[in-house]
C-alpha cells in the first residue's frame, strides 16, 4: 500500500509540474500585455510530440485593432540564425562544404581587417560570433532598413571593420558574419538565402505559412501580419517594419506560432519531418547544438546554470540539469524568443509586436518553471518592477542630457559655428555623413542609412546631440567634433547618450573623417 501511495504521489507531482494550467497561462499573457504595453503576443508550446498551447492575444496592429492569432505572421528576427546554420549543415551532409572550410574558398574576395584572419576564418567562425568583430559591429550597413548597400557591398566593407577582440578569443554577437554565411549558402547552392530556406527547409518541415523574408511575405499579400510598435515619449505607436533584405540570413524570416511549433517539434524530434525525412544527420546536429564558444556564468543564478555560450546558430546552456537550446530575436518594434529543452521534448515560442524583451522572458520563464518543477516565482512581477526602475533611470539620464543642452543653447558665444563643422564626413565601411546648416538649425544625414537623419543640438563647445527624426529609435547620440588648431572640424565620433540604445546602432565603431 505504501509503495502504491508513493507511486501515486510521484505521478501526481509529475503531472502537476508537467504543464502550466491553460487558464493561468491565458491570464499571465493578458497581464503581460498590460504590464509592458505590448499590443499583441502569440505563444506556442509543444511537449512530447503534441501541441499543448497555440494562441494569440491582443491585436496585431493598433491602427486596425485586428486580433493577434496563432496564425499572425511576425518577423522572428535573429531566430532566423538557426535556419541559416541548419542550411549549412544540410549542405555539409551533401558534401558541398565543411564547417571548417575557409570562407575564402567560397567567397574569394572576402577579407577581414587582419591578413592572417582573412586567410584563416572559417564558416564555423562566421556562425559562432568568434571572428573578432564586436557586438553589433557593422550593423549600420543594413540597419535601420532602407539603405542602398548590397550583400556584396557589405562583404567588401568588412575589411574596414577593425575587430574589437582577437580572433576566436571571445563571443561577440555579430550579424554581419551571418550575412556572409548567407552568401556562402547562395554561392554553394545557386539559390538566394530566402529561396533555399523556403524550398529546402520551410516547405519540407511543413511551415507552409512562413516566408524567407518580409518582402516575400508582402509580395504574397499575406493579410494576417503584424505592424511593428515601439514606445515613444511613454506611448506605444506603430512604426514601419524594419528589416533590410541584405540582412535576411541574420534575421529575415516571417513566421507564426503554428509554424514555429512545427519547427520546434521538428528539431526536438532529431531534425525529422512529420513524414519521417531526416534533414540533418546526427553528426551535424552534434555540431549545431554543442558549445562552440562559452561566456561567463554567474555563480548564483535562477536556473543553477553551469555553462552558457553559443553553438552554431543557437545559444546553448543548462537549466536545472537539462540542456537548453534557445535564441531571441529583435527588430525595431518586435521581439521574439524560441526555447527548446530537447530531453524533455519541450519547446516554447513567444512572438510579439513590441520591443519589450521582458515580456517574452516573463512568459517563457513561467512556462519553463512549470515543466522543470520549480514553484511559481512570479516572473511578471519581477520583470515589471525591474523594467520600471531601469526605464525611470534611463528617462532621468536622457532628461538631464537635454536639460544641459537647453542651458548651453543660451550661451551663443560658446556654440560651434557652421563654418567649423558643415561638410561631409566619411567612414570607410559606413560611407558619407553630411552635416549642414538649415535655417537656424544644424542637420545630420547618413547617406547609406537614409532613415538615420535628424537635428543637431548644441551641448558643449565641440559636442552636439544628434536627435533623430524617427523618435522610435531611442538612439540619440553625442557627436564629438575633433577640431584642429583653427577650430575647424577634422573628424567626428558618435556615442549614444543612453545605454538603452540598441547595440545595432553601432555609432562608436565609426571613425568619420572630414572629406569636404
Convert the pLDDT of each residue in 18-72 to its tens digit: 578 999 999 999 999 999 999 999 999 999 999 999 999 999 999 999 999 999 9
End-to-end CA distance of the chain: give it in Å, rounded.
90
Residue 84 has pLDDT above 60, yes or no: yes
Percent of the chain with pLDDT over 70: 97
Average pLDDT, the chain: 94
The whole-number pLDDT of residue 18 equals: 52
- Please give the average per-residue pLDDT across 227-237, as a whole number: 93
- Please give the average per-residue pLDDT across 296-320, as a whole number: 97
- Please give the average per-residue pLDDT across 423-441, as a whole number: 96
Give the predicted TM-score (pTM) of the model: 0.93
The whole-number pLDDT of residue 242 equals: 73
Could you tell me how many residues make up the chain? 516
> Is 124 in contact with 100 (CB distance < 8 Å)?
yes
**Confidence grade of residue 14 (pLDDT, cut at 50, 70, 90):** very low
pLDDT tens readout for residues 141-186: 999 988 899 999 999 999 999 998 999 999 999 999 999 999 999 9
**Confidence grade of residue 233 (pLDDT, cut at 50, 70, 90):** confident
How many CB atoms are closer than 10 A to CB 360? Answer: 28
For the chain, helix, strand, coil in percent to 5 are 40, 25, 40
Residue 266 has pLDDT above 50, yes or no: yes
The whole-number pLDDT of residue 16 equals: 37
The whole-number pLDDT of residue 17 equals: 39
CATH number corresponding to 21-390? 3.40.710.10
**Confidence grade of residue 93 (pLDDT, cut at 50, 70, 90):** very high
Distance CA 102, CA 104 (A): 5
What does the radius of gyration of the chain's CA atoms come to, in whole angstroms?
A: 24
Torsion, Cα 58 61 66 72, to 10 degrees, reads -80
Residue 4 has pLDDT above 70, yes or no: no
491: β partners: 482, 513
Domain boundaries, the chain: 21-390, 411-514
> Is 386 in contact with 366 (CB distance < 8 Å)?
no
> Is 213 in contact with 193 (CB distance < 8 Å)?
no
481: β partners: 492
| 16 Cα distance to chain centroid | 35
**Confidence grade of residue 271 (pLDDT, cut at 50, 70, 90):** very high
> Is 39 in contact with 58 (CB distance < 8 Å)?
yes
The whole-number pLDDT of residue 305 equals: 97
> Is 227 in contact with 195 (CB distance < 8 Å)?
no
**Confidence grade of residue 243 (pLDDT, cut at 50, 70, 90):** confident
Ramachandran category for residue 63: left, alpha or beta (phi over 0 → left; psi -120 to 50 → alpha): alpha
The whole-number pLDDT of residue 241 equals: 83
Which residues, 6+ apart, have CB-to-CB distance to 21 below 8 Å? none
Q: At what angle do helices 379-409 and 22-35 cross, to 10 degrees?
A: 10
> Is 61 in contact with 226 (CB distance < 8 Å)?
yes
Element (H, E) at 253: none
CATH number corresponding to 411-514? 2.40.128.50
- Cell digits of residue 82: 538557426
The whole-number pLDDT of residue 10 equals: 35
**Confidence grade of residue 456 (pLDDT, cut at 50, 70, 90):** very high
Amino acid at each position: 500500500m505504501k509503495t502504491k501511495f508513493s507511486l501515486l504521489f510521484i505521478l501526481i507531482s509529475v503531472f502537476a509540474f508537467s504543464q502550466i494550467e491553460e487558464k493561468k497561462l491565458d491570464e499571465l499573457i493578458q497581464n503581460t500585455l498590460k504590464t509592458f504595453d505590448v499590443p499583441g503576443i502569440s505563444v506556442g508550446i509543444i511537449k512530447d510530440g503534441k501541441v499543448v498551447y497555440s494562441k494569440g492575444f491582443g491585436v496585431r496592429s493598433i491602427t486596425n485593432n485586428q486580433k493577434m492569432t496563432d496564425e499572425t505572421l511576425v518577423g522572428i528576427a535573429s531566430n532566423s540564425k538557426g535556419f541559416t546554420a541548419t542550411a549549412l549543415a544540410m549542405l555539409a551532409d551533401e558534401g558541398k562544404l565543411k564547417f571548417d572550410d575557409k570562407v575564402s574558398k567560397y567567397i574569394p574576395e572576402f577579407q577581414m581587417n587582419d591578413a592572417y584572419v582573412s586567410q584563416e576564418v572559417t564558416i564555423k567562425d562566421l556562425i559562432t560570433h568568434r571572428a573578432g568583430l564586436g557586438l553589433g559591429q557593422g550593423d549600420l550597413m543594413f540597419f535601420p532598413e532602407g539603405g542602398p548597400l548590397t550583400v556584396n557591398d557589405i562583404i567588401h566593407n568588412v575589411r574596414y571593420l577593425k575587430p574589437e577582440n582577437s580572433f576566436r578569443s571571445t563571443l561577440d554577437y555579430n550579424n554581419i558574419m551571418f550575412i556572409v554565411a548567407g552568401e556562402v549558402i547562395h554561392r554553394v547552392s545557386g539559390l538566394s538565402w530566402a529561396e533555399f530556406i523556403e524550398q529546402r527547409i520551410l516547405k519540407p518541415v511543413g511551415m507552409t505559412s512562413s516566408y524567407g523574408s518580409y518582402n516575400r511575405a508582402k509580395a504574397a499579400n499575406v493579410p494576417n501580419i503584424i505592424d511593428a510598435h515601439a514606445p515613444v515619449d511613454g506611448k506605444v505607436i506603430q512604426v514601419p517594419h524594419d528589416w533590410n533584405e541584405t540582412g535576411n540570413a541574420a534575421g529575415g524570416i516571417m513566421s507564426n506560432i503554428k509554424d514555429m511549433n512545427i519547427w520546434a517539434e521538428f528539431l526536438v524530434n532529431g531534425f525529422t519531418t512529420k513524414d519521417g525525412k531526416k534533414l540533418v544527420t546526427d553528426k551535424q546536429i552534434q555540431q549545431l547544438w554543442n558549445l562552440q564558444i562559452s561566456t561567463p556564468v554567474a555563480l548564483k543564478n535562477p536556473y543553477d546554470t553551469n555553462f552558457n555560450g553559443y553553438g552554431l546558430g543557437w545559444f546553448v546552456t543548462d537549466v536545472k540539469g537539462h540542456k537548453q537550446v534557445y535564441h531571441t530575436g529583435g527588430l525595431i518594434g518586435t521581439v521574439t524568443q524560441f526555447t527548446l529543452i530537447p530531453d524533455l521534448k519541450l519547446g516554447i515560442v513567444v512572438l510579439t509586436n513590441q520591443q519589450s524583451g521582458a515580456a517574452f522572458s516573463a512568459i517563457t520563464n513561467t512556462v519553463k518553471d512549470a515543466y522543470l518543477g520549480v514553484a511559481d516565482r512570479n516572473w511578471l512581477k519581477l520583470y515589471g518592477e525591474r523594467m520600471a526602475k531601469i526605464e525611470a533611470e534611463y528617462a532621468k539620464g536622457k532628461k538631464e542630457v537635454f536639460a544641459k543642452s537647453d542651458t548651453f543653447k543660451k550661451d551663443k558665444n560658446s556654440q560651434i559655428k557652421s563654418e567649423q563643422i558643415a561638410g561631409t564626413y566619411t567612414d570607410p565601411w559606413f560611407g558619407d555623413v553630411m552635416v549642414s546648416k538649415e535655417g537656424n538649425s544644424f542637420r545630420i544625414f547618413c547617406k547609406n542609412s537614409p532613415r538615420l537623419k535628424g537635428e543637431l543640438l548644441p551641448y558643449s563647445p565641440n559636442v552636439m546631440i544628434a536627435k533623430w527624426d524617427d523618435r522610435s529609435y531611442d538612439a540619440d547620440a553625442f557627436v564629438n567634433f575633433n577640431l584642429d588648431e583653427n577650430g575647424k572640424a577634422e573628424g567626428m565620433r558618435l556615442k549614444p547618450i543612453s545605454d538603452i540604445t540598441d547595440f545595432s546602432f553601432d555609432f562608436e565603431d565609426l571613425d568619420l573623417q572630414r572629406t569636404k
